Chains A and B, each alone.
Chain A
Amino acid sequence: MDLTREQRFTDLLGEVYAPLQHFLRRRTSDSEDVLSDTLLVLWRRLDDVPPEAPLPWAYGVARGCLQNHRRSVERRWKLVRRLALEPPAPPPEEDPALAEAFAALPAADREVLRLWAWEQLPPREIAVVLGISPNAASIRLHRSTAKLRKQLARKEPPPSGQEPGRQGQEAPR
């Protein structure tokens, strides 16, 4: 076995292994299977990993494996697919209004917001995960945060003293 390649892979995993576990657990109840698939792709495509953004790139690979896994589950176990496809829900007791507002958003918006708030990625790295341009990622994030604010406003009244029209004005970082 190529020891250099093995060492490079181990180094990469030192950086991405823990975050990948969280990334997948946030999105599927079959995270171990998908993690295994993801590592296989990372190993096979080790030479393609961009040195400047290995983690977002690895998230992008995990996302592809997740979609593949979902299709596979859907094909094989149509009757029980919802059990396997539903990602773990956010704990609503923490902030019920926000949890409800978040849950009411379309899937694409939820994913952008997860990448931003849970994976803590800036727009340029969200772009790597989603395979879109940084500019498109910024626009999507801006729209998604605006939608979340709108949903949230329906769930809870704005705090007193807040100037109307200020919400959603600032571009997300």
Chain B
Amino acid sequence: MNDDELRTRLARLDPQANVPFASLTSRLAQDLLERTMTSTLTSPERPTERRTRRLLVVTTAAAVAAVGVTAAILTSQGADTLPAQKKTTLALTLPDPNAMSSCIMFDVAILKGFPVAFAGTVTAVADGTVSLDVTKWYVGGSAQVVTLTTPGDTQSISLDGVSFEKDKDYLVTASDGAVTSCGFSGEASPTLEQAFDEAFGG
């Protein structure tokens, strides 16, 4: 049996040999096309990204302003009278762990596009909320504490299937008030730290 014969014989085992596919003009394909081309995950130099970035800047500015206002109020109360737990706080939501989501490949260029990024240590995990003391702001904020709230009535508070644990360090990015998953946020590791340094300039 020569190679052509082997190839032909093997081709007959192709489970997709006679299976029809969705045409590019189908509704399914057109919807997918539209979703893709209006995606926010395009690289920074793309025209659509500029529009997205403006939106993100507005969102971030609002978040920073909110933190700023909180800080101003707290400061006006006087540092001496400030209760220890009254730190400036930024609230973010976690992606629903029960939702079937699809991931895009990890890429520093994408990481770079997220408007909020910080490093923090988990101080408490309770009642569907994770609290982190921020150890470093890479971009998009100045709050001392960030709370991550899990949507719905989910029992475990996790990201990419990994539960948050007290006293552990995490690197987190967020966009539109929501933590980004798919490896763009997670427990601190030398690899992730290096990616954050590369993306946000340390």
- Chain A interface residues (CB < 8 Å from chain B): 1-2, 5-6, 9-10, 13-14, 17-18, 21-22, 25-26, 33-37, 39-41, 43-45, 64-65, 68-69, 72, 75-77, 88-91, 94-95, 98-99, 102, 113, 116-118, 120, 145, 148-149, 167, 170-173
Contact B3 A170 (CB under 8 A): yes
Asked whether any CB of chain A lies closer than 8 Å to the CB of B81, the reply is no
Q: Please determine whether B16 and A118 come into contact, CB atoms closer than 8 angstroms.
A: yes
Q: State the B residues within 8 Å of A (CB).
A: 1-4, 6-7, 9-16, 19, 21-24, 29, 32-33, 35-39, 41-43, 46-48, 97, 100, 102-106, 110, 160-162, 182
- A13 with B24: in contact, given A43-B39, A113-B10 (CB under 8 Å)? yes
The interface residues of chain B lying within 8 Å CB-to-CB of A72 are 103, 160, 182
A65–B182 CA distance with the chains assembled, in angstroms: 12
Cβ-Cβ contact count across A and B, 8 Å cutoff: 134
Q: CA separation between A45 and B42, bound complex, in Å?
A: 8
Do residues B105 and A41 form an inter-chain contact, with CB atoms below 8 A? yes
Whether the Cβ atoms of B105 and A65 lie closer than 8 Å is yes
Q: A75-B160, A95-B9 are in contact. List 11 more A-B contacts (CB 8 A).
A: A9-B33, A18-B22, A22-B16, A26-B16, A37-B102, A37-B105, A39-B32, A40-B104, A44-B42, A98-B10, A102-B10
CA distance A69 to B163 in the complex (A): 20
Docked Cα-Cα span, A35 to B4, in Å, equals: 30
Closest 10 CB pairs of A and B: A117-B10, A90-B13, A22-B16, A76-B161, A2-B47, A21-B21, A33-B102, A118-B14, A39-B36, A75-B161
Chain B residues whose C-beta falls within 8 Å of the C-beta of A94 in the assembled complex: 12-13
Known: A6-B37, A22-B21, A90-B14. A117 touches B103 (CB 8 A): no
A10 contacts across to B, CB distance below 8 A:
24, 33
Give, as a whole number of angstroms, the nearest-CB distance from A158 to chain B: 9
A145 to B47, CA, bound (A): 46
B176 to chain A, nearest CB (A): 17
Contact A25 B32 (CB under 8 A): no
Q: Which of A5, A17, A76 contacts B47 (CB 8 A)?
A: A5
Picked from A14, A34, A44, the residue with its CB within 8 Å of the CB of B46 is A44
In the assembly, what is the distance between CA of A103 and CA of B173, in Å? Answer: 42
Query: Are A36's CB and B36's CB within 8 A?
Result: yes
Decide: B103 and A68 in contact? CB cutoff 8 A.
Answer: yes
Q: List the B side residues contacting A172 at CB < 8 Å.
A: 3, 7
Residues in A neighbouring B37, C-beta threshold 8 A: 1, 6, 9, 43
B102 contacts A69, C-beta separation under 8 Å: yes
Known: A43-B39, A118-B14. A76 touches B46 (CB 8 A): no
**A68 and B110 alpha carbons, distance in the complex (Å):** 15
A25 to B104, CA, bound (A): 18
A172 to B46, CA, bound (A): 42
Closest to A92 in B: B13
In angstroms, how far is the closest chain A Cβ from the Cβ of B184?
Answer: 12
A173 CA to B41 CA in the complex, in Å? 39
The listed residue (A21, A68, A145, A149) touching B22 by CB distance below 8 A is: A21
When C-beta atoms are compared, the residue in chain A nearest to B24 turns out to be A17
**Among A34, A68, A75, A145, which residue has its beta carbon within 8 angstroms of that of B6?**
A145
Indicate if the CB atoms of B15 and A25 lie closer than 8 Å: yes
The chain A residue sitting closest to B106, CB to CB, is A68
Least distance between B90 CB and chain A CB atoms (Å): 27
Residues of A within 8 A of B103 (CB): 37, 68-69, 72
